[in-house]
Chain A
Amino acid sequence: MAHFVNSKGTRISNAIIKGGLEQPMTIGVYGAAGLSVGPNDASVASITSQGADQNQITWYRLTGKRIANVMVEAKMGASVWDYFQLVVGEASYYGPDVAWAKKPPNKDGRYTDNPNEVVTKNTKPAPGDVIKLLLASWSALTETGARVLTAQFMHETGEGVHCYNWNLGNVKCAEHETSVPHMYLRDVWERFSPSAAVQMVKSSNGLAYLATEEECKKHGWTHTGGKVIAVFEPPSYVCRFRAYASLAEGAQRWMDHHRSVAKKFPDEYLDTVNSGDCAETAHILKRAQYYSGDEGVYAHNMTEMKAKIDRLLGPVKP
């Protein structure tokens, strides 16, 4: 029997569903073949079909046109097979349901049909491999120095837990940059003034929403000074990041940048790194504006990571 479902596939037959003025929402009809689907008053809401999926659900985009209530029906001739009531009110941009085009990845694990998109996979580099790579490509670096830089990398990526497709440090793609290997990461958040945030959500084609306070607490997203948080979801271009084929390829930019820091601070950086002094290395990196967070925290975390590497690999051979 045909019935209405919401964007998550949950049945909404006979229910009262809230919608926003000029704010599209996704609904579906299970077994819609042969039925006409839409509001019984076209002046209140408009509907466009998005096509059927493999689960016999035909998806629609329903958009409120004026503040009023309307029955949305699935009919065959004059016979109503299923319905729900749409209450069109003022638009709200808070909460993930506002991101009406947000969807899980396709069956192949990708969000788009772009041949350059690769499936997002966690790639956790082993500290020993990073050290080998550093020593092979930077002759001025001692094994102690390589351990310090590996500690820095491990801190930046949460010991590799947040490293995907060998992208060390979440290197981004520009808005139009789709011709290079790339991937999508979820829940990319950003702070805006309230008016700019609403504009961002409106222009995101259903791929962004404003975070509720509950979500901010859950994810540890902080905002002050009257700003609000906009969250972007794949396949928004804001969520597009570079994907690399190997650790060696992904680490190239990271190593090059450390070489540039060494060039910028010729009398300090390399000697400090090679001496194993994580706190002073963190201090120079702060001066190079490598990171914008708290220096004390950065130094502490690097020191802890270095100790962990030393425990894992044993003492440096003379």
Chain B
Amino acid sequence: MIVARVALFAALLFAACPRAPGPPTATPASAASATEWRAATRGEVTSLVIAGEELSFCDEAGFHRLALRTGVVVAAGGACPAPPATAAGTPEVTVRTPELGPDDIVEIAGEGTSFPIEGHARDWASEAGKVVIVGTGSEVLELLPATGQRVRLSESGASRVAVGGGWAAWWDGAAVVGRRL
């Protein structure tokens, strides 16, 4: 009984304390299937990259490297690497705003069919033009040029997205989300 009370007190104390700077904690959507995880962030996320089996991002707590499949932190807190000086986004994807209207159209190099989307794209990423992830103010979309299909990955907007290794990732303003495609 005493042990239970101490554990409860410790849990309450932990919950009441303000979040200290430190590595993000990944929360799988379901323990049984690691098809999606969330890692809380601090402040604005300024880069989000998938490379090999890892995802990295920068926020106010510094540089973080996470295992792509689980969201488990591999390294955290270091200085953010400088972005490449010539980074030119995702050259195989073009997003345009016809007539400066409320919606955008996504074009993928070499594909004759475009993808009209609702709202304005905030960020986009492509895996060799085969899978394109687009974050808007109110959703995250997976576009598949080969079939013309689109899949809604999230009903929350995202201003940072990444794709690679069969996974998509995005920042929704509070957490980085990883999702197996």
- Given A174-B122, A261-B112 in contact, is the A221-B90 Cβ separation under 8 Å? no
B22 in the interface (beta carbon within 8 A): no
A263 touches B96 (CB 8 A): no
Chain B residue with the shortest CB-CB distance to A258 = B112
B124 in the interface (beta carbon within 8 A): yes
A170 touches B94 (CB 8 A): no
Chain A residue numbers with a CB within 8 Å of B99 are 156, 158, 162, 170
* Chain A residues within 8 Å of chain B by Cβ, number: 46
Q: Mark A145-181, 1 if CB is under 8 A from B, else 0.
A: 0000000000010100010000001111111110110
Q: What's the Cα separation between A289 and B150 when bound, in Å?
A: 13
B123 touches A175 (CB 8 A): yes
Chain A residue with the shortest CB-CB distance to B134 = A174
Q: What's the Cα separation between A191 and B157 when bound, in Å?
A: 13
Q: What's the Cα separation between A158 and B101 when bound, in Å?
A: 13
CB under 8 Å from chain B, chain A span 269-318? 288-293
Chain B residue numbers with a CB within 8 Å of A292 are 98, 103, 105, 116
Tell me how far the C-beta of A229 lies from the nearest C-beta in chain B, rounded to whole angstroms.
7
A179 touches B97 (CB 8 A): no
- Given A169-B98, A172-B97, A191-B102 in contact, is the A289-B116 Cβ separation under 8 Å? yes
Chain A residue with the shortest CB-CB distance to B85 = A179
Chain A residue numbers with a CB within 8 Å of B103 are 292
Partner of B113, one of A185, A187, A188, A288: A288
A100 in the interface (beta carbon within 8 A): no
B87 in the interface (beta carbon within 8 A): yes
CB under 8 Å from chain A, chain B span 71-95? 83, 85-90, 94-95
B100 in the interface (beta carbon within 8 A): yes
Chain B residue numbers with a CB within 8 Å of A180 are 88-89
Q: Mark A234-273, 1 if CB is under 8 A from B, else 0.
A: 0001100100000000000100110011111100000000
Chain A residue numbers with a CB within 8 Å of B98 are 156, 169-170, 291-293
Q: What bracket does the count of chain B residues touching chain A fall in?
A: 35 or more
Chain B residue numbers with a CB within 8 Å of A174 are 89-90, 95, 121-124
Q: Find the residue from B98, B137, B138 having the highest chain A CB count within 10 A.
A: B137
Partner of A229, one of B47, B102, B159: B102
A143 in the interface (beta carbon within 8 A): no
Partner of B86, one of A170, A179, A221, A289: A179
Q: What's the Cα separation between A200 and B120 when bound, in Å?
A: 12
- Given A172-B97, A291-B105 in contact, is the A190-B111 Cβ separation under 8 Å? no
Chain A residue numbers with a CB within 8 Å of B47 are 176
A76 in the interface (beta carbon within 8 A): no
- Given A156-B99, A171-B94 in contact, is the A177-B105 Cβ separation under 8 Å? no
Chain A residue numbers with a CB within 8 Å of B54 are none
B120 touches A192 (CB 8 A): no
A189 in the interface (beta carbon within 8 A): yes
Chain B residue numbers with a CB within 8 Å of A173 are 89
Chain A residue numbers with a CB within 8 Å of B51 are none
Chain B residue numbers with a CB within 8 Å of A196 are 137-138, 157
A176 touches B112 (CB 8 A): no
B107 in the interface (beta carbon within 8 A): yes
B65 in the interface (beta carbon within 8 A): no
| New A-B contacts (15) at CB < 8 Å, excluding given A179-B86, A196-B137 | A156-B99, A162-B100, A170-B96, A170-B100, A172-B95, A172-B97, A176-B46, A176-B87, A188-B120, A192-B138, A241-B97, A257-B114, A260-B112, A264-B112, A291-B98
A residues with CB within 8 A of B: 156, 158, 162, 169-177, 179-180, 185, 187-193, 196, 200, 203, 221, 229-230, 237-238, 241, 253, 256-257, 260-265, 288-293
10 pairs of A and B residues whose beta carbons are closest in the complex: A264-B112, A292-B116, A170-B97, A177-B89, A261-B112, A260-B112, A169-B96, A289-B114, A172-B95, A174-B123
User: Could you list 25 A-B pairs, sorted by A, with CB under 8 Å?
Assistant: A156-B98, A156-B99, A162-B100, A174-B123, A176-B160, A179-B87, A179-B88, A190-B102, A191-B119, A192-B119, A193-B138, A196-B138, A230-B137, A238-B120, A238-B122, A256-B109, A257-B114, A260-B110, A260-B111, A263-B110, A264-B111, A264-B113, A288-B112, A291-B116, A292-B105
